[in-house]
Structure 1
């Protein structure tokens, strides 16, 4: 087991279990036998799903489960509804209950629970431990379960024409992987010319001018590395809010109905901003409105969300494991003007581009996996102290998929929160819509549905104000001047 995966294996706590939790809504319903057959054909060929995580003095490793039984991992459940509770509320309560129910470490660390009768169809709740894979890899795995999907491809070693490993493979195996298991492609994705700089170590025959140019790249990368390391180490504390504190041992989840992705794209185009900027601006607005409704003063306040950044080529997602870093994004919850919030988020996201912080956080997790658990906990507590939320934003298929002949109508998932972080936010685009969901510790946020209820009004305000902007000016005006011309209602 890689050191990063080992760190995730040991990161469970009474307040936060390291499970990725997902929900699929399917219509018409599917049966337990059909689901088991699909899992057997498509999921079990991923060897990790029939292996047990074992820890010893040397670290952790994967071992085949000699007593593997599929019925232990694919089960059924009938929702119990209390008086006045809607079916969706009952499902949300069950998801929250399972989010705090540990997986059995004596067997492979995953479990599917099928609710065969839900909303005229079925609901599938999936729980997979983070040590198996990160969210991007697990989306790839789950997509193998849909109609038309397939088993994982055979692992092939990339070779040169001489039959030798490529320079990138050699670098990854001998130089980079022992210090964090980051491939050269990951470096290229996260740090621009970083991979090229590392690659010069494998190509001493290059011309002097090329080598000098790469040396300059390496020097620039060193400066960027020092700057980003200082930024991580010296992160100021978040603004104090009721969302930050010592979490308890219970959670609640909530999600909204999808909003049209075309409308989000239209706003982004008008404001010269990305879809991500628009959605994160709305998330900041929803959290700020939630706090103000409770009587809190949010003026000038900001909270930090850790955002996972993929560090692997997408074609390698099937290999599982964790290959992602984290970047801290500060959300302007104290700004009431929706357009100003989007511009602020856009500016901060642009400042993160080319940052080596994802590589640094990946490296920290790798080092954490080398330490004894108390030392690992102390090292990773930095993120808990400086962070209010964990946030993911994943683009899914543009058209709706089918599973065992049924349509996958709606999907949502949450990555785990670590340490004392008590709020998880997920944004997932799928089938022409954008799904927004929250999972929250009940001590810090007793009713996350109230945050969800603010998301659609914030999006509607942003849409209305965007339509009111003068044509041709929204995307080109400086952030503050554009926002100041529109009075927020």
Structure 2
């Protein structure tokens, strides 16, 4: 296995990170246990299987040689030891409390940036595994496939016969540069126009927006997690009544839950319309899955100030349809694409500033993480719940990730623990908002 250069967006995620702002994805999987020792057995299995998953052996090394100065590359770790990545913890009766504590710790940068924390349940009938992957190592889809490589063997759907993109080897890149110059110049002109489009759209996105102060905070370096579960059949009932997509309904539920949460904590929701960044995968539907990130995004106003739940769905549906018509390569949500045109050294020097600017770009992250339709197991123990966790941007207090698994929608919530001590209230608000929508649509 050879090394390959980090793509620009991966490099951006690598350099944005600081001790108080870890840039890893997470997923808390809850398993049904057949015995009190199931958690220990699961930890042994994870450690034994990790060595056979090539992507888990890859570390990220900073580069300082000419032509790659300030860049970084993935390369096999010659000292890879699975026991440095799989941890068995003491039994607990609160998986989310432990997960929140673990999510605050940056992954060690000198070795492959991933971990699997096994949390035995104090009840003896369940255990959980918190998987964490640095965003420079994988996006949500790639992280899912890496984690699936540690679970019991299953036949995941293939993405198609097309080969993966070749590694971005430094020597190959240099040799190919002269022949690529004409195309690069044409691309630069096109990209300049796209950058102007994105910049103007971002400026327009601030007009009429009124985010709540509850969604911004001075970073404390702390984390709290929580989750909420909905029945996918209920979501489909709402969608059939209101139109649009399942994703439109799930985003509107977030808007309604924010309204309930803000009103209950006394911050008020009148006129509040925060900007939600909704990431969009740019992977080819039937292409192979190379490492790293292939992401753009849509910027969508959340109609938190709208009192009517059905009008909230209509507003979200209209905004998302407008985004899809424009496509993921233009518009305010496509700022991530500009990373492709920033020199490596600028990524290194400007990473902290880019991280701090996130709150000027969007107010809350709402992302969907795909899950396979089949059931998953670890050591014969069935995965019953899975809560995805997104990185929390500097200066923001809350991030929302959503996955659908085995007929249920799981909302995974990550918050700054000091700014949002009542994250469980927001989780409850998600369930209450969905229940009200189901009741309204049943009339």
Q: Output aligned runs, 1:334-345, within 5 Å.
A: 334-345=305-316
Deviation (angstroms), 1:55: 1.2
Rounded to whole Å, the distance in 2 between the matches of 1:400 and 1:150 is 11
**Pairing 1:446–2:417 present:** no
Structure 1 match to 2:115: 111
Residue from 4, 23, 28 that aligns with 1:18: 23
Question: What secondary structure sits across from 1:16 in the alignment?
Answer: coil
Q: Compared with structure 1, are the counterparts of its residues 178 and 292 closer, same or farther at alpha carbon in structure 2 (3 Å cutoff)?
A: farther
Rounded to whole Å, the distance in 1 between the matches of 2:304 and 2:22 is 27
Q: Output aligned runs, 1:90-489, within 5 Å.
A: 90-119=94-123, 120-149=125-154, 156=163, 174=180, 226-236=196-206, 238-256=210-228, 258-316=229-287, 318-353=289-324, 354-355=326-327, 356-357=329-330, 359-364=334-339, 367=342, 369-468=344-443
- What CA RMSD, in Å, does the superposition of the two structures yield over aligned residues? 3.3
Structure 2 match to 1:50: 57
Deviation (angstroms), 1:27: 1.2
Q: Compared with structure 1, are the counterparts of its residues 239 and 104 closer, same or farther at alpha carbon in structure 2 (3 Å cutoff)?
A: closer
Q: Compared with structure 1, are the counterparts of its residues 15 and 391 closer, same or farther at alpha carbon in structure 2 (3 Å cutoff)?
A: farther
Q: Compared with structure 1, are the counterparts of its residues 368 and 130 closer, same or farther at alpha carbon in structure 2 (3 Å cutoff)?
A: farther
Rounded to whole Å, the distance in 2 between the matches of 1:27 and 1:91 is 13
Question: What secondary structure sits across from 1:239 in the alignment?
Answer: coil
Q: Compared with structure 1, are the counterparts of its residues 455 and 246 closer, same or farther at alpha carbon in structure 2 (3 Å cutoff)?
A: same
Q: Compared with structure 1, are the counterparts of its residues 129 and 379 closer, same or farther at alpha carbon in structure 2 (3 Å cutoff)?
A: closer
Q: Which segment is superposed worse, 92-101 or 20-29?
A: 20-29
Q: Compared with structure 1, are the counterparts of its residues 417 and 238 closer, same or farther at alpha carbon in structure 2 (3 Å cutoff)?
A: farther
Rounded to whole Å, the distance in 1 between the matches of 2:86 and 2:288 is 23
Contact 1:238 1:387 in 2 (8 A): no
Deviation (angstroms), 1:361: 2.0
Q: Compared with structure 1, are the counterparts of its residues 367 and 298 closer, same or farther at alpha carbon in structure 2 (3 Å cutoff)?
A: same
Q: Compared with structure 1, are the counterparts of its residues 466 and 175 closer, same or farther at alpha carbon in structure 2 (3 Å cutoff)?
A: farther
Contact 1:19 1:128 in 2 (8 A): yes
Structure 2 match to 1:480: none
Rounded to whole Å, the distance in 2 between the matches of 1:222 and 1:293 is 46
Rounded to whole Å, the distance in 2 between the matches of 1:333 and 1:367 is 35
Alpha-carbon displacement from aligned partner over 1:305-360 (angstroms, at most 9, x marks no partner): 21111011245464221111122221111112110100000011011013323654
Question: What secondary structure sits across from 1:373 in the alignment?
Answer: helix
TM-score by length of 1: 0.75
Deviation (angstroms), 1:371: 0.8
Rounded to whole Å, the distance in 2 between the matches of 1:155 and 1:352 is 29
Deviation (angstroms), 1:399: 4.3
Unpaired stretches in structure 2, ≥5 consecutive residues:
1-5, 167-175
Rounded to whole Å, the distance in 1 between the matches of 2:29 and 2:232 is 19
Rounded to whole Å, the distance in 1 between the matches of 2:12 and 2:183 is 15
Contact 1:27 1:408 in 2 (8 A): yes
Higher CA-based Rg: 1
TM-score by length of 2: 0.83
Q: Which segment is superposed worse, 60-69 or 364-373?
A: 364-373
Unpaired stretches in structure 1, ≥5 consecutive residues:
81-86, 160-169, 180-196, 199-217, 469-489
Rounded to whole Å, the distance in 2 between the matches of 1:233 and 1:176 is 32
Q: Compared with structure 1, are the counterparts of its residues 47 and 227 closer, same or farther at alpha carbon in structure 2 (3 Å cutoff)?
A: same
